[in-house]
């Protein structure tokens, strides 16, 4: 069974824009999978459908075997998503932000890994600082920790390093590898080919809402 299965996925926005035009692929469990494509290709639309933020207009999708229509709650609990927007209350601390998130997901107090997660994203020394005082890079790392609070088997990162400097980019890459080594299946979108090459076991390319490649990274790089 795949981590994510997408079949004939279609999205036509109100107004008629066809953002996804019959996309099918599977993300194998245990991989780092790159979804590559230029701006406007449909990457965020696809991620937002998986997140339950956008309704598809056709096709089907399943996360960890759970169909997003028939079993939306199990699907949702199987995935953690880091969007490009930075979303948390500036007057809560990172520790509080993770506790609030754990509460939303119904993670029992005894099973919460708040400090462990903060250590993993190197924010343990900021655990009690107001989130508004964190740097941009720290805020991004807090978003990653938030997405992992319910210990999902799949983590999706939408353009994790867009506009990020080289040092932070390398830190994020190292952390993605570490998570993957711990068994988390990672899907990331990017428009940087070198990022996908560096990190991903497999790369799918979409353009104008259509899948134009889906290959092991080695094969794809050999073709370029
Ligand atoms: P990417 O993430 O690859 O840059 P998007 O999924 O954001 O691509 O966008 C795919 C296409 O759908 C683009 O042409 C974009 O302008 C359009 N689009 C995205 N969101 C909306 C929306 N809410 N309403 C109408 N069109 C949209
Ligand atoms: P740190 O000091 O932790 O490295 P910075 O505040 O210096 O964090 O930000 C690191 C990089 O991330 C900078 O290049 C900044 O422009 C970029 N960045 C921060 N927040 C965002 C964001 N929301 N979207 C895009 N880029 C961001």
**Tell me, what's the pLDDT at 167?**
83
Ligand 1 pocket by C-beta < 6 Å: which residues? 13, 15, 17, 19, 37, 39-45
- Tell me the best of 14, 17, 34 to mutate to test the pocket of ligand 1, counting ligand atoms within 8 Å of each CB and taking the most: 17
Ligand 2 center from residue 176 Cα (angstroms)? 17
- Please state, in angstroms and rounded to a whole number, the distance separating the CA atoms of residues 66 and 40: 28
**Tell me, what's the pLDDT at 224?**
59
- Please state, in angstroms and rounded to a whole number, the distance separating the CA atoms of residues 84 and 82: 7
pLDDT higher for 25 or 83? 25
Ligand 2 center from residue 163 Cα (angstroms)? 7
Which residue from 144, 224, 211, 202 is spatially nearest to 178, judged by alpha carbons? 144
135 lines ligand 2 (CB under 6 A): yes
Mind listing the pLDDT tens digit for each residue in 155-212?
A: 999 988 877 788 878 888 888 999 999 999 999 999 888 889 999 999 999 999 999 9
137 lines ligand 2 (CB under 6 A): yes
- Please state, in angstroms and rounded to a whole number, the distance separating the CA atoms of residues 204 and 62: 17
Q: How far is CA 26 from CA 52, 72, 125, 214, in A?
A: 18, 18, 39, 9
122 lines ligand 2 (CB under 6 A): no
Ligand 2 center from residue 166 Cα (angstroms)? 10
Mind listing the pLDDT tens digit for each residue in 78-94?
A: 999 998 887 788 899 99
Phi-psi bin for 169: left (phi > 0), alpha (psi -120 to 50), beta?
Answer: alpha
Ligand 2 center from residue 112 Cα (angstroms)? 28
Question: What ipTM is given for this predicted complex?
Answer: 0.74
- Please state, in angstroms and rounded to a whole number, the distance separating the CA atoms of residues 30 and 45: 23
pTM for the full predicted model: 0.85
Token digits of residue 61? 């999708």
* DSSP-assigned letter for residue 169: H
- Please state, in angstroms and rounded to a whole number, the distance separating the CA atoms of residues 159 and 157: 6
Token digits of residue 17? 């824009």
The arithmetic mean of pLDDT across residues 17-32, rounded, is: 98
For residues 190 and 196, the answer to whether their CB atoms sit within 8 Å is: yes
* DSSP-assigned letter for residue 132: G
Ligand 1 center from residue 141 Cα (angstroms)? 26
59 lines ligand 2 (CB under 6 A): no
- Please state, in angstroms and rounded to a whole number, the distance separating the CA atoms of residues 108 and 139: 25
For residues 99 and 65, the answer to whether their CB atoms sit within 8 Å is: no
Nearest CA to ligand 1 atom 13: 40
* CB neighbourhood size of 218 (10 A): 12
Instruction: Provide φ and ψ at 184, rounded to 5°.
Output: -80, 130
Per DSSP, helices labelled H in 55-187 are 72-77, 94-104, 114-120, 136-147, 166-181
């Amino acid at each position: 069974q795949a981590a994510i299965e997408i079949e004939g996925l279609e999205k036509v926005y109100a107004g008629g824009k066809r953002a996804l035009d019959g996309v099918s692929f599977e993300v194998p469990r245990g991989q780092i999978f790159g979804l590559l494509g230029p701006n406007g290709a449909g990457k965020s639309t696809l991620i937002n459908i998986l997140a339950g933020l956008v309704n598809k207009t056709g096709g089907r999708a399943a996360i960890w075997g759970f169909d997003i229509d028939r079993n939306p709650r199990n699907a949702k609990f199987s995935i953690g998503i880091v969007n490009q927007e930075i979303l948390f209350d500036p007057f809560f601390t990172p520790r509080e932000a993770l506790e609030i998130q754990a509460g939303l997901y119904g993670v029992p107090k005894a099973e919460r890994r708040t400090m462990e997660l903060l250590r993993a994203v190197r924010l343990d020394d900021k655990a009690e600082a107001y989130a508004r005082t964190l740097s941009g890079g720290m805020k991004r790392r807090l978003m990653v920790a938030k997405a992992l609070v319910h210990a999902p088997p799949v983590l999706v990162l939408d353009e994790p390093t867009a506009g990020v400097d080289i040092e932070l980019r390398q830190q994020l890459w190292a952390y993605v590898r570490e998570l993957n080594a711990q068994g988390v299946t990672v899907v990331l979108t990017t428009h940087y080919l070198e990022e996908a090459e560096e990190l991903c076991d497999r790369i799918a390319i979409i353009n104008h809402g259509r899948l134009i490649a889906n290959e092991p990274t080695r094969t794809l790089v050999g073709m370029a």
